[in-house]
Amino acid sequence: MGPSASEFYRVERAWGTEPVTRSRKVSRAIGTALTGLPIPGKMPKFSATLRVVDRSVAVAFDTTGQTAEIDSLELQILNDLIRLDVEAFRRSYGLAAEEEAP
């Protein structure tokens, strides 16, 4: 078994600032006015970007999705970084080998 993938790659994450779902404030206001009861709103969903970065700080892999999906993928990648050697990790995620510095 070769060196651990965690020696070559790390995971970075960026969160979106704008919700990806529309707020239904008008519908909630009408429902509250008709029933007299406050209508709770849904929690807004945000997007997130997940990147796998190599030692030269080049992005080797990135994906964008809703926060829950990215949470799951991040845990999977972190688990793979710890348990797989670098070649197995590269094969799993379709990454090219790092070019060696002269």
Q: What's the pTM value of the predicted model, to 2 decimals?
A: 0.69
Q: What angle do CA 94, 55, 59 make, to 5 degrees?
A: 50
60 in Cβ contact with 95 (< 8 Å):
yes
Q: What is the pLDDT of residue 73?
A: 94
Place of tokens 């070769």: 2
* Closest to 9 (Cα-Cα) out of 81, 97, 95: 81
More confident residue, 35 or 100: 35
In this prediction, residue 27 has a pLDDT band, given cuts at 50, 70 and 90, of: confident
Q: Which two structure tokens, joined as six digits, stand for 25?
A: 């404030």
* Average pLDDT score over residue span 36-41: 78
In this prediction, residue 101 has a pLDDT band, given cuts at 50, 70 and 90, of: very low
* Closest to 12 (Cα-Cα) out of 68, 65, 78, 56: 78
Does residue 68 surpass a pLDDT of 60? yes
- Maximum mean pLDDT: which of 31-35, 37-41, 64-68: 64-68
